[in-house]
Amino acid sequence: MFPTNLIQACFQLHRTIRVMEASSVFPVGLNTSEVPRVLRREFEYSDGLNVFGVIVFCSVFGLVSGYMGPLAQTHVQFFSILNSICMRLAYIVNWYFPLGVFFLIVHSCVTGDDLGEHVADVRLYVLTVLGGLMLHSFLILPTCYFVIVRRNPLVLAKQCLHAILVGFGTSDSVASVPVTMSCLEVSGIDRRVTRFVLPIACAFNLDGTALYAAVGSIFVANLNGIQLNFEHYIIVGIVAALTSFANRGIPNAVVITMVLVLQAAGLSAKHLPLLLAVDWIMNRCRTAVNVFSQAIAAAVVARAVRRDLEHSEEVLEEYHWERVSEVGVTKRLR
């Protein structure tokens, strides 16, 4: 998590392994000829990106740069321009994305892979992801809304249906933010809450993307015949949640997210191109879930700060009448 060498962390992964070795200490009173063995930990480097280390360093670096203000303006502008260049390159590559998927499928046919078996696996993967998204959007999110806000979640879902459909149609939660704001304000949520919460939630509340990346990474690992343990599942979940923050506004960025997740867990990314053939429809489904989750987040925040908002309105009203009284007194004195 804290790399000793940042350059090395970009192409080598530091990990801990457990080695059994013979012990030189024999227990007293043990009548056996078997040599006791002990478990010893060793550290080694393997090929791959140290995702945790890079994420931690970049997060701390960005926070410190923000606190420095004008002193860090030069390198902030540099990274902003670099980000714009990378975004432009991503959009250019995205135009050739369908052609690349076509040749990847052709490669699987030519190399003798059982395409029918892969199609069955991808079908099972699609059903798994859709089942997870439906469970999250139809059970978990409405339950949280009902428990915290104490209102019927079906009413909110009906009021936000337009925003959810916009997210599904555009496959971009950023484009649906204005529609989500108007839907929530019509439903009675304070304008100040929607204007503050939704832009932040659009960047950090990406439940569907995190779920999709985690399930996709586990699916690719199973296709490669890799048995995952509890540690792998924990790493996949954490990295999928962290890297989902970087997907905003980048086309097909979830593929890069899954590569980072697999590298963080020390797994192979082979067979990952199989998922690209269905990513166009899965992207729309997870975006719809993201939009609904962001609406739920705004409603929960509005419930939490409702008393503060009412108090601020009372203070503003008192201030308004005080100003009116002062203006009236001034006019009479004149």
Average pLDDT over residues 226-242: 82
Of 156-160, 168-172, 208-212, highest mean pLDDT: 156-160
Of 229-243, 265-279, 286-300, highest mean pLDDT: 286-300
Spatial separation of the C-alpha atoms in residues 36 and 59, rounded to whole Å: 46
Which has more confidence, 305 or 93? 305
Residue 334 has a pLDDT of 56
Q: Is the pLDDT of residue 190 over 60?
A: yes
SS3 12: strand
Residue 100 has a pLDDT of 75
Residue 162 has a pLDDT of 92
Of 63-77, 90-104, 192-206, 277-291, the least confident: 90-104
H-type helices in the chain, by residue range?
A: 6-9, 51-68, 73-95, 97-110, 115-135, 141-149, 153-159, 161-170, 177-186, 191-204, 207-223, 230-243, 253-264, 279-304, 306-333
Q: Is the pLDDT of residue 198 over 60?
A: yes
Q: Which residue has the tokens 């009372």?
A: 314
Residue 71 has a pLDDT of 82
CATH T-level fold of 114-307: Proton glutamate symport protein (1.10.3860)
Q: Is the pLDDT of residue 112 over 80?
A: no
Residue 222 has a pLDDT of 82
Residue 2 has a pLDDT of 67
Which has more confidence, 228 or 131? 131
Give the pair of three-digit tokens for residue 308.
């503060």
Residue 313: other Cβ atoms inside 10 A: 11
Strand partners, 20: 39
What is the per-residue pLDDT across 254-265, written as a single tens digit (0 to 9) for each?
777 777 777 776
Model pTM score: 0.71
What is the per-residue pLDDT across 23-81, written as a single tens digit (0 to 9) for each?
665 555 555 556 566 667 766 776 666 776 777 788 788 888 878 878 888 888 888 88
In order, the DSSP letters of 248-299 are TT-TTHHHHHHHHHHHHTT---TTGGGGGGGHHHHHHHHHHHHHHHHHHHHH
Residue 209 has a pLDDT of 85
Spatial separation of the C-alpha atoms in residues 296 and 156, rounded to whole Å: 8
Q: Return the domain boundaries, the chain.
A: 1-24+36-95, 114-307
Distances 22 to 16, 18, 37 between C-alpha atoms, Å: 19, 13, 4
Are 218 and 239 spatial neighbours (Cβ–Cβ below 8 Å)?
no
What is the per-residue pLDDT across 122-168, written as a single tens digit (0 to 9) for each?
888 889 999 999 999 999 999 999 999 989 999 999 999 999 999 89
Average pLDDT over residues 277-287: 86
Residue 293 has a pLDDT of 93
Helical (H) or strand (E) element with 32? none
